[in-house]
Amino acid sequence: MSLQEREETYYARNQTLHCGFVQGPEDYPNTGFYLDENDKIYMASCRVVVSSCIFGSSDYLRRPAKSKIGPYSKKNVCFVMFLDELTLGTLSEGTGPDETGFIGLWRIVVVEKLPYKDMRRAGKVPKFLAHRLFPSAIKLRLNADPMLIVEYFLWRNKAEYAISMHYDRTCVSEEVLQNKRLNKYNHTAIDEQFYFYQSDGLVKFNESGKEPVLPNVPEGSFIVRAHTPMSNLFSCLWFNEVNRFTSRDQLSFTYTYLKLRRMNTGKPFHLNMFKDCERRAITKLFHHRANETADPPPANP
């Protein structure tokens, strides 16, 4: 996609938009992320979804806390866990899916031919493109009932997309320094992305309360979203930034949001950025396995 084509995608209008993976006709090359047809049928039936993923055996499979989930949600909410074949093969004996494809509340969906070798980037497909995977749905380990989460973060705030503020950093420039300090990604690639965003209008976080008022850095492990046109567009645009630049999605969140707002002044996007303590109250965040099976992109010395 050229820069001019990319620019056009930020307009909220009827258009054909590049949005992650595609599936072509039989025997025609496509971009991967293959799903079994039975899984697709199940996913198309979901109206409210809790989803997560583990690729590259980078984490342990943890089940939702049943004691925190009410009978209505157990019956009406889909809990979907995306795994690759490597992760499925490393599950402990006796903990694999049953004959119906479930492990506890999780419906296990095995993804074949991941579109990226970088497992972090591959994980952005289910994270950002839920509206493509679950076309009928509203879209971690939860310590609260999913329907209560939807009501609290979306309906009560009249929002269509909710994500928590970062617990420590507010400005993208701080996130840039932290990523380089911890060698999270190639330093040159991070700088190129940040300089490009600055040249296209990204400004420092303004603590005075004037525009832009939202923190520049989210804590991206927990997202609550509805499948509205603006939410879908934002998700596609954010994914495309991760695809074009680095896989560190916290670097591109605010740029994508502010650019979408700037180019569509008459079409509001109702974003709810809530305090991280609220996220921690209803989720339990686990660290990944210490030994990753896929090395991250090389960092500069």
201 versus 22: the higher-pLDDT residue is: 201
Token pair 């899984």: residue:
39
pLDDT of residue 203: 84
Distance, in Å, from the CA atom of 37 to the CA atom of 111, rounded to the nearest integer, reads: 11
The residues with which 83 forms a beta bridge, in sequence order, are: 54, 110
Q: What share of the chain is helix, strand, coil (3-state, %, to 5)?
A: 35, 15, 50
Q: Which of 62-71, 83-92, 123-132, 137-146 has the lowest mean pLDDT?
A: 137-146
Question: Does residue 164 sit in helix, strand or coil?
Answer: strand
Q: Which of 173, 163, 179 is nearest to 246 (CA)?
A: 179
User: What tokens does 30 get?
Assistant: 């496509």
Confidence of residue 7 (pLDDT cuts 50, 70, 90): very high
Token pair 């949001």: residue:
257
279 versus 190: the higher-pLDDT residue is: 190
The mean pLDDT of 108-113, rounded to a whole number, is: 94
Distance, in Å, from the CA atom of 176 to the CA atom of 194, rounded to the nearest integer, reads: 8
Question: Does residue 72 sit in helix, strand or coil?
Answer: helix
Interaxial angle between packed helices 172-181 and 187-199, expressed in degrees from 0 to 180 and rounded to the nearest 10: 170
How is the chain split into domains, by residue range?
Answer: 28-139, 140-288+297-301
Contact 160, 267 (CB under 8 A): no
pLDDT of residue 298: 45
User: Do strands 106-111 and 102-103 pair parallel, antiparallel, or not at all (unpaired)?
Assistant: antiparallel
The model's pLDDT over 119-146, given as tens digits with 9 standing for 90+, comes to 999 999 999 999 989 988 765 556 678 8
